[in-house]
Structure 1
Amino acid sequence: MSGLLGGDLQEVFGSVFAPLLLDATITKVTLTDDGYGGFTETEQTAAAKGMVEAYSAYTRAQANIPSTDVKLIILQKDVAISPDLDSKITIRGQDYSIQAIEEDPAQAAWTIQGRPTNG
């Protein structure tokens, strides 16, 4: 796909907003069969740019979002891996487990419901 929804908006958003956003790290863990009845854990990390926002009281009530959870906006431009529900995001020195992920139609950013973790 070409045009605005074919990556051009991702480039525009990334170029404009990345300098204004915080450094973030996406960590994705993959389990693979080791061939002996067990699993091997592989960890991939990728640098990203993002921000942390609080959910409004209305959104929390409508979507049943716990008071501890935050909204993470992560730009997709130049990010080598895509997060999934088993990934974590580190931003401002805090790790967040991923509870939900949404992607905008232009694939410019992920909106992630993040839950702070202790480690």
Structure 2
Amino acid sequence: MSVLDDIRAAIGDAFGDTALFFSEATLTRVVGGGGWTDDSAAPDEYPCKAMVDTYSDHLRAVADIPGTDVKLMIVGTSISVDPLKGDTVTVGGKSYAINRVETDPARAMWTCQASPVDG
């Protein structure tokens, strides 16, 4: 166990009552995730805690982030897999397709740029 594992556990404990900020969510991955899809395979679903936030106008302009994209944050200790580009996360009845994934070194929080999924 490394120091980063200790940090991840401590942050997970701090967000023990995630209901204050984070909602129940589901990450859906089609077999061959990471942008590849296989229509014949059943998707895998992973429960997690997530919240949807918006990007500032300044960051949208500097990083060329589309106006419809959102910042999707997933608590690292709430999910058993690493989010990948191409995964879909459903929060509060709305689904978002992950376009970009970032995390901290301890993987305590995943921050994803995501687009709304029509449907």
Q: Please classify the TM superposition score into its range, dividing by the shorter chain length.
A: 0.7 to 0.9
- Partner residue, 2:29: 28
SS of the equivalent of 2:65 reads: coil
Give the TM-score normalised by the residue count of structure 1: 0.84
Letter matched to residue 98 of structure 2:
I
Give 5+ residue unaligned stretches, structure 2.
Answer: 33-37
Contact 1:18 1:75 in 2 (8 A): no
What is the RMSD of the two structures over their aligned residues, measured on CA atoms?
A: 1.7
Structure 1 unaligned blocks of 5 or more: 32-37
Q: Distance in 1 between matches of 2:16 and 2:43?
A: 25
Q: Structure 1 residue 16: deviation in Å?
A: 1.6
User: Is the CA contact 1:70–1:115 (under 8 Å) kept in the aligned structure 2?
Assistant: yes
Alignment of 1:37-76 (within 5 A): 40-76=40-76
Q: Tell me which stretches of 4 or more aligned residues in structure 1 moved more than 2 Å.
A: none
CA distance in 2, matches of 1:81, 1:70: 21
Q: Which range moved further: 11-20 or 82-91?
A: 11-20
What is the CA–CA distance in structure 2 between the aligned matches of 1:39 and 1:27, rounded to whole Å? 14
**Where is the strand percentage greater, Structure 1 or Structure 2?**
1
Q: How does 1:79-118 map to 2 (within 5 A)?
A: 79-118=79-118
CA distance in 2, matches of 1:58, 1:8: 34
**Cα 1:18–1:63, aligned 2, differ >3 Å: closer, same or farther?**
farther
User: Which stretch shifts more, 82-91 or 38-47?
Assistant: 38-47
Aligned to 1:16: 14
Deviations 1:51-107 (A, max 9, x none): 111100011001111111110110110412222112101111110001100011111
| Corresponding residue pairs, total | 111
